[in-house]
């Protein structure tokens, strides 16, 4: 029997096996009914079809002055919203806060929501909102945005909008206080960046802006650099910037070094989703002028379009001796790091999280970095993820390191193909020596070598990929 009155928050999901989830466990409806006919919790989240809502609220309800959140993605008509209001009003919950999720742009629902009083405080939540091109010029869209400014929950929405529409309706978009704005380029209008005055300076927006160039021409793609500089100039307190290059043929980004020199950014997070190496000069300058505020840097590369033409040039050297960089993630099957990049990583004295999933100019660079700096310059590391075949893992990772909490080692090449059988118990114990109590080491472990350690937790990493396991499983069954 479950004492449901002890739960602070319950979440109900009608998909599959209906259960109420807590932070610690799941509770079935039968367990709730076993306790009593219904129970009350301070905060209740329900995701279900409208026809099931009445039955669910009969069994479990929010307490007086509690919080009720309803996720009803198929909500389309005002009559359905009125039905929800009737169900909630039937039980006289006297809610402190009411929240409802729905997808898409629906002016009819918003107008009806404005006329209904669910609780003392009530919000509409649209986690992801994509505005169609040129929609901001329509009267209905402006009316919808105005109502969203009144009822949308702040700092929980991601808005995707065309660049031209964003310029013409920036005040309406910023008035909704989204956590992220995705700006994409389409075939159409581009401003005169030399005399760019369409946007007023804004000091209130402290979220993230993502610039995308998918499905645009090579001619339009080159203006990403200008757009990034213009947005950094206008949004003085911008905390996050994501630049996503097109998966099509990439053009060299055009920008002015003089424009970058006058920018005093407060960027905290920078993410670069690159397609080629030809724009590294722009990114290096962007990092340089964000060096004193940047705490997180992510570089991803998933396209092989320019892989054969790639030049292994350094990209991190402009961040040398960065005082605040705490998280660095470099990953991509077609991304190569220069030897100088590894020397630069060793200067990040405040680094807490390091992820390396890429190729090198040679296999010696990362080995030398860890041997020299793992217990010195990188002594503040808490999480280290390496997807590479180290020459000598024991020599690279042994020693006293009292900050490390999680270490993951995974070879880039298939361990099955290269006949790697996993780490021996002696190697694991040598790496574990000098680490703090509770540290977790995740690595391929040879069969029969898992043994308890007084301080460090070992977790075996399956050396076969899912596809390899399926192949070997079929082969084994065939022989049977």
Instruction: Give per-residue pLDDT as tens, 459-470.
Output: 765 544 445 445
**pLDDT of residue 257 exceeding 60:** no
478 torsion bin: left (phi>0), alpha (psi -120 to 50), beta (else): alpha
pLDDT at 122: 92
Nearest by Cα to 90 from 49, 48, 69, 118? 118
Angle between helices 107-115 and 78-90 (to 10 degrees): 30
At 383, the pLDDT band (50, 70, 90 cuts) reads very high
| Residue pair 160/131 in contact by the 8 Å Cβ criterion | yes
pLDDT at 259: 62
pLDDT at 380: 93
Instruction: Give per-residue pLDDT as tens, 190-239.
Output: 666 665 666 677 888 889 999 887 655 555 566 777 788 888 888 889 99
Residues 459 and 61: their CA atoms lie apart, in Å, by: 41
At 388, the pLDDT band (50, 70, 90 cuts) reads confident
Reading the block at residue 280, the tokens are 């590294």
Taking residues 143-171, report their average pLDDT: 81
Select the highest-mean-pLDDT range: 100-109, 174-183, 216-225, 375-384: 375-384
At 436, the pLDDT band (50, 70, 90 cuts) reads confident
The beta strands (E) that lie in 245-382 are given as: 269-274, 296-301, 327-337, 353-360
**pLDDT of residue 63 exceeding 60:** yes
pLDDT at 46: 85
In this structure, of 134-138, 156-160, 266-270, the range with the lowest mean pLDDT score is 134-138
| Residue pair 67/121 in contact by the 8 Å Cβ criterion | no
Residues 339 and 466: their CA atoms lie apart, in Å, by: 33
Residues 480 and 471: their CA atoms lie apart, in Å, by: 14
Strands 19-21 and 26-28 come out as: antiparallel
| Residue pair 165/191 in contact by the 8 Å Cβ criterion | no
What burial class does residue 27 get, using C-beta atoms within 10 Å of its C-beta: 0-12 exposed, 13-18 middle, 19+ buried? buried
At 404, the pLDDT band (50, 70, 90 cuts) reads very high
Taking residues 408-435, report their average pLDDT: 71
At 327, the pLDDT band (50, 70, 90 cuts) reads very high
Question: What residues pair up with 12 in beta bridges, in sequence order?
Answer: 20, 46
Strands 9-13 and 19-21 come out as: antiparallel
What burial class does residue 236 get, using C-beta atoms within 10 Å of its C-beta: 0-12 exposed, 13-18 middle, 19+ buried? middle
Which helix (H) or strand (E) element contains residue 408?
strand 406-409
Taking residues 183-192, report their average pLDDT: 70
Nearest by Cα to 169 from 140, 208, 129, 142? 142
CA dihedral 194, 198, 203, 205 (to 10 degrees): -110
Of residues 448 and 351, which shows the higher confidence score? 351
At 16, the pLDDT band (50, 70, 90 cuts) reads very low
Instruction: Give per-residue pLDDT as tens, 21-45.
Output: 555 455 555 555 445 566 778 888 8
pLDDT at 422: 73
> Helix and strand tally (H, E) in the chain?
16, 20
Residues 221 and 367: their CA atoms lie apart, in Å, by: 38
pLDDT at 450: 56
**Dihedral sign, Cα of residue 256, residue 257, residue 262, residue 268:** positive
Instruction: Give per-residue pLDDT as tens, 71-94.
Output: 887 788 888 899 999 988 888 888
**pLDDT of residue 160 exceeding 90:** no
| Residue pair 289/260 in contact by the 8 Å Cβ criterion | yes
Work out the number of other CB atoms within 10 angstroms of the CB of residue 32. Answer: 20
Question: What residues pair up with 181 in beta bridges, in sequence order?
Answer: 159, 209
pLDDT at 410: 81
Select the highest-mean-pLDDT range: 125-134, 225-234, 341-350, 441-450: 341-350
Residues 424 and 421: their CA atoms lie apart, in Å, by: 9
pLDDT at 247: 56
Instruction: Give per-residue pLDDT as tens, 277-300.
Output: 677 788 888 888 888 899 999 998
| Residue pair 207/183 in contact by the 8 Å Cβ criterion | no
**pLDDT of residue 265 exceeding 80:** no
Domain spans of the chain, in order of start: 1-125
């Amino acid at each position: 029997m479950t004492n449901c009155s002890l739960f602070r928050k319950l979440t109900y999901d009608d998909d599959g096996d209906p259960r109420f989830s807590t932070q610690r466990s799941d509770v079935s409806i039968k367990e709730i009914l076993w306790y009593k006919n219904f129970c009350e919790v301070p905060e209740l989240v329900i995701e279900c079809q409208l026809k099931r809502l009445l039955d669910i609220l009969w069994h479990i309800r929010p307490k007086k002055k509690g919080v009720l959140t309803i996720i009803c993605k198929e909500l389309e008509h005002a009559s359905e919203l009125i039905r929800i209001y009737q169900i909630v009003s039937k039980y006289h919950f006297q809610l402190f806060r009411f929240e409802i999720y729905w997808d898409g742009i629906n002016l009819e629902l918003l107008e009806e929501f404005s006329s209904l009083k669910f609780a003392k405080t009530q919000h509409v939540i649209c986690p992801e909102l994509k505005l169609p091109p040129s929609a901001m010029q329509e009267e209905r869209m402006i009316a919808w945005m105005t109502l969203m400014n009144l009822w949308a929950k702040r700092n929980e929405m991601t808005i995707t909008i065309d660049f031209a529409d964003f310029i013409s309706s920036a005040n309406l978009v910023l008035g909704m206080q989204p956590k992220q704005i995705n700006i994409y380029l389409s075939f159409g209008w581009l401003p005169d960046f030399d005399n760019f005055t369409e946007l007023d300076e804004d000091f209130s927006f402290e979220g993230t802006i993502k610039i995308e160039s998918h499905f645009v021409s090579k001619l339009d793609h080159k203006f990403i650099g200008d757009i990034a500089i213009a947005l950094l100039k206008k949004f003085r307190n911008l905390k996050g910037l994501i630049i996503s290059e097109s998966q099509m043929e990439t053009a060299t980004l055009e920008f002015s070094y003089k424009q970058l020199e006058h920018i005093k950014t407060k960027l905290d997070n920078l993410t670069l989703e690159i397609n080629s190496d030809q724009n590294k000069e722009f990114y290096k300058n962007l990092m340089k002028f964000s060096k004193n505020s940047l705490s997180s840097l992510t570089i991803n590369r998933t396209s092989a379009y320019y892989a054969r033409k790639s030049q292994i040039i350094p990209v991190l050297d402009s961040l040398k001796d960065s005082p605040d960089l705490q998280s660095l993630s470099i990953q991509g099957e077609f991304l190569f790091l220069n030897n100088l990049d590894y020397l630069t990583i060793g200067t990040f004295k405040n680094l807490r999280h390091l992820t390396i999933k890429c190729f090198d100019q040679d296999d010696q660079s990362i080995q030398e970095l860890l041997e020299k700096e793992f217990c010195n310059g990188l002594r503040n590391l808490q999480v280290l993820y390496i997807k590479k075949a180290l020459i000598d893992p024991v020599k690279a990772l042994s020693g006293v390191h009292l900050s490390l909490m999680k270490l993951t080692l995974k070879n880039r090449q298939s361990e099955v193909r290269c006949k790697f059988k996993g780490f021996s118990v002696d190697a694991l114990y040598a790496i574990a020596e000098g680490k703090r109590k509770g540290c977790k080491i995740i690595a391929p472990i040879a069969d029969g070598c898992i043994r308890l350690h007084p301080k460090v937790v070992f977790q075996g990493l399956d050396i076969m990929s899912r596809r390899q396991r399926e192949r070997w499983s079929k082969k084994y069954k065939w022989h049977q």
